[in-house]
Amino acid sequence: TSTQPVTVSDVPVTPTPPTRPTTLVYEGPSWCQTPADRGLCKVNITRFYYNSVTRKCLPFNYSGCGGNENNFTSKKACRKACKKGFIK
């Protein structure tokens, strides 16, 4: 027996609807959406801030005074305060 080659036109194609991007809504503390703020003093202390665009806690240099509430002593504290704020 011989087999016939199948062309694309012989195969039924069911179009798949485009997938909608998942929209995440942030309902955590509002300060977690503020940018890192170094503050006004002159020392350099490594702290962590929550980046709401990348959804990651990242290090930054804190000056020791001023700044905002998006300022955590550890990555773990940053995650605990901010990361769980996203819902679908």
Structure confidence by residue, pLDDT tens digits, 54-85: 999 999 999 999 999 999 999 999 999 998 76
CB count in 10 Å sphere of residue 64? 15
Tell me the C-alpha distance between 75 and 8, whole Å.
53
Task: Output 18 or 46, whichever has higher pLDDT.
Answer: 46
The predicted model scores a pTM of 0.66
pLDDT at 12: 64
Higher-confidence position of 53 and 28: 53
Residue-number span of the structural domain to which 57 is assigned: 36-88
Domain total in the chain: 1
Distance CA 73, CA 88 (A): 29
* Within-domain flag for 61: yes
What CATH number does residue 76 fall under?
4.10.410.10
Q: Is residue 69 part of a domain?
A: yes
Domain-located, residue 84 = yes
13/16 Cα distance (integer angstroms): 9
Domain-located, residue 48: yes
